[in-house]
Structure 1
Amino acid sequence: MERSLSPVTEQELLGIKHLLWGPDIKHEIFKRWSQGFYFSTNEKSALEQAEGGPCAIIAPMQAFILKKLLADYNGLSFRYSITEEIQHTVLIHALCEILQQCSTERYHIIYLKNQDLERESSSSVINGDTSKEEFNDNDLATLNEIFDADAKIFHDNLVVHMYPLIADVEKYYKENINSLKAQYGVLLFLYSVIATKGLEHVKMESGTNDPLIDETYGYGSQNLINLMITGKAVTYVWDNYQDVGGLKLKGLDKQSQIGFITLMEHLRYCTVGSFYKNPIHPVWVLGSETHLTVLFSDERKLVSPETKSEEARRIFKSFDPDGNNFISSSSLQEVLAALDLVSDQEYVDIMKKKLDSENLGIILLNAFMDEFFPKEESSIPDMFQLIHYNGLARSNVNKEVQYHFGSAILLESDLKSINDSDPMLTCLQTKWPNIEVQWCDNITPSLN
């Protein structure tokens, strides 16, 4: 394996530290982020999150793990086939896929030069040095209590190596799998992502001086979430650019491998575009006000190519960012042109009079669809299975991390039921407006 000392300087490592944490690191927040990647003993393909905070890394990682497992196995049969070797394989595959999305030409892997730090938080426990009993991966969840996280010691011991090929990175992680499970596994990978992307690239894409980890509450910013899911540290979640008060603000530039939907869209804090809502694989990171979880399905048709009528609805709604189900009459020509329909001025004027007969200056979505796509077709089945993952044990049934199953149905009505006491349904309705879900045992899983 070719390996060389990286051109990443000590100053750049300090820059990454400042970008993530700001000028001061709160001990309690750093401690919550100081955990390794380890799997639940109850749901062997599911990562566990020990404390609130690092879901910005763990939830996207889980989503990429599920993408791999759904592609490699028939449906959900992987649940009964998981071994420690498979856990290592899918974890490393997910790590490498995220790094590949961030890399332009090389990979910068950050590790601890003082190996005693890693021995204290992994080898001594794994080898049974702290007890006569045998320890498993799940015991790594308690490492923050055994070895107190120290931000200064951690940052004083960071070293970077550069690898030209992703195969080299994969080999490194296979040989150092215990460092991923150890106390600083999540943080070392996060620093590797930033270093691989490039500090200046992240700063340029994010366009903000705010730390990527909130200084008060310790949660990851949307820039960090976007970086983990797409390799781009942009602030916004809409497609391409949106004009906001004369400023062209950049969102995603292409369809994502895994998706993202969020309760914050219902609360009007953001607008999630089609690139995120309709990813390549039927796996979505779900956002609440404080936490990230994952939704997935074994129904591949949920991400089938759009029909012409679905494309028409999407493009129409891109001119209706407030979700009012109407557009300004002046936008009709642009909508028709975007759909490769007749858009010369004379025809547009005729259609404006027909679709806005009362001259109100607006065109309703239903009127537009009835005129141009009267026989609507859907690529999505009316009924399908959804599965939810929450990495915090305390947020699961019986306080154990496990997948929660639901049977979804898409209602025919155009009217959706708003129920603010059911944040899960409200979140899903930002993607499927007419969805209803019957969850197993009548227990709605928690977004928090």
Structure 2
Amino acid sequence: MSELTKELMELVWGPKTSPGLSDTIFCRWTQGFVFSESEGSALEQFEGGPCAVIAPVQAFLLKKLLFTSEKSSWRECQEEERKDLLCHTLCDILETACSDNSGSYCLAAWIRGKTTEDTASISEGPAESSCQEEHTSALAVEELGFERFHSLIHKRSFKSFPELKEAIWDQCSMWANKFGVLLFLYSVILTKGIENIKNEIEDSTEPLIDPVYGHGSQSLINLLLTGHAVSNVWDGDRECSGMTFHYLVEDKSVPIVESFTGSE
């Protein structure tokens, strides 16, 4: 397994000390971006956990629909309009995550026809047509456990934003299938850079997804909303007893609501 694969898995999931627990949490995160049949512009969530990705995507989607759309009724969206809105939204979030202004973007996609025996880590390569990638809708969750899922991921790199937009539209069906949410989360992380994220999180040993309850951390939510994986929600940095606590920049494109998680 490559170092990139190990770093990505540990950043998101933490050390895999309990395979059964990891698979349980992993299965709860295996869903795509699916629109509600009763509310045209609403994304649905099926299990606890992936709201940490779905909610920020929903926020960007509604922002675009309310402030840039010329529709008379924002609650009425046809299928093609939904696809267009979703792809625009994913592009906006990835553009925000590109923190170094290098114009370099990444997508996590699938390697067509590969099995666990064929490939054991995330591979890297140039942008390719989506027809060369695995359509995961044909694969059941049981067939793609935690380990095999990561063995099938392919990192696609793009040198310009127009290239990225074309690829996102080209892979529109992938975002809606069984693993669309996780593939998009990995795309944001790879675009931002694993080391950049570690430098922004207060405690880099804490994974972005809680290994016990499966919810996303505040750092994960902030990363998707603002492009900064800081652990706090106030504006600017603050010093306390000689320590500097990193907070959000002031020019947030969408409002931030801090996540509180309790257990009984």
Residue 12 (structure 1) aligned to one of 4, 14, 28:
4
- Other-structure match for 1:241: 237
**How far 1:69 sits from its partner (Å)?**
0.2
- Other-structure match for 1:159: 154
1:215 aligns with 2:211: yes
From the superposition, tell whether residues 148 and 260 of structure 1 become closer, same or farther in structure 2 (CA, over 3 Å). farther
Structure 2 SS opposite 1:62 = helix
1:111 aligns with 2:109: yes
C-alpha distance in 1 between matches for 2:114 and 2:173: 13
Structure 1 residue ranges (4+ consecutive) displaced by more than 6 angstroms after TM superposition: none
**How far 1:120 sits from its partner (Å)?**
6.4
Residue 50 (structure 1) aligned to one of 46, 52, 59:
46
Deviations 1:194-229 (A, max 9, x none): 110011000001131111110100111111111010
Question: What one-letter code is carried by the residue in structure 1 that aligns with 2:13?
Answer: W
1:175 aligns with 2:170: yes
**How far 1:13 sits from its partner (Å)?**
2.6
- Other-structure match for 2:187: 192
C-alpha distance in 1 between matches for 2:45 and 2:6: 27
- Other-structure match for 1:97: 92
Cα contact 2:32–2:180 (8 A) shared by 1: yes
- Other-structure match for 1:289: 261
**How far 1:50 sits from its partner (Å)?**
1.0
Q: What TM-score, normalized to structure 2?
A: 0.83
Deviations 1:109-138 (A, max 9, x none): 11111357986642x49xxxxxxxxxxxxx
Question: What one-letter code is carried by the residue in structure 2 that aligns with 1:201?
Answer: N
- Other-structure match for 1:37: 33
C-alpha distance in 2 between matches for 1:258 and 1:77: 21
Over the residues paired in the alignment, what is the CA RMSD in angstroms? 2.2
Cα contact 2:91–2:168 (8 A) shared by 1: no
Structure 1 SS opposite 2:256 = strand
From the superposition, tell whether residues 258 and 29 of structure 1 become closer, same or farther in structure 2 (CA, over 3 Å). same
C-alpha distance in 1 between matches for 2:236 and 2:221: 17
From the superposition, tell whether residues 120 and 177 of structure 1 become closer, same or farther in structure 2 (CA, over 3 Å). closer
**How far 1:86 sits from its partner (Å)?**
0.9
C-alpha distance in 2 between matches for 1:51 and 1:217: 12
From the superposition, tell whether residues 65 and 76 of structure 1 become closer, same or farther in structure 2 (CA, over 3 Å). farther
C-alpha distance in 2 between matches for 1:245 and 1:115: 55
Gaps of at least 5 residues in structure 2 are 116-132
C-alpha distance in 1 between matches for 2:167 and 2:136: 19
Gaps of at least 5 residues in structure 1 are 1-8, 126-142, 263-286, 291-448
Structure 2 SS opposite 1:214 = coil
Question: What one-letter code is carried by the residue in structure 2 that aligns with 1:216?
Answer: V
Q: What TM-score, normalized to structure 1?
A: 0.50
Question: What one-letter code is carried by the residue in structure 2 that aligns with 1:179?
Answer: M
**How far 1:161 sits from its partner (Å)?**
1.3
Q: How many residues align?
A: 237
C-alpha distance in 1 between matches for 2:239 and 2:194: 27
C-alpha distance in 1 between matches for 2:168 and 2:94: 12
Cα contact 1:30–1:149 (8 A) shared by 2: no
Give the share of equivalent positions with the same residue, in percent.
Answer: 38
Cα contact 1:34–1:149 (8 A) shared by 2: no
C-alpha distance in 2 between matches for 1:214 and 1:88: 30
Instruction: State which structure, 1 or 2, has the greater radius of gyration over its C-alpha atoms.
Output: 1
**How far 1:288 sits from its partner (Å)?**
4.5
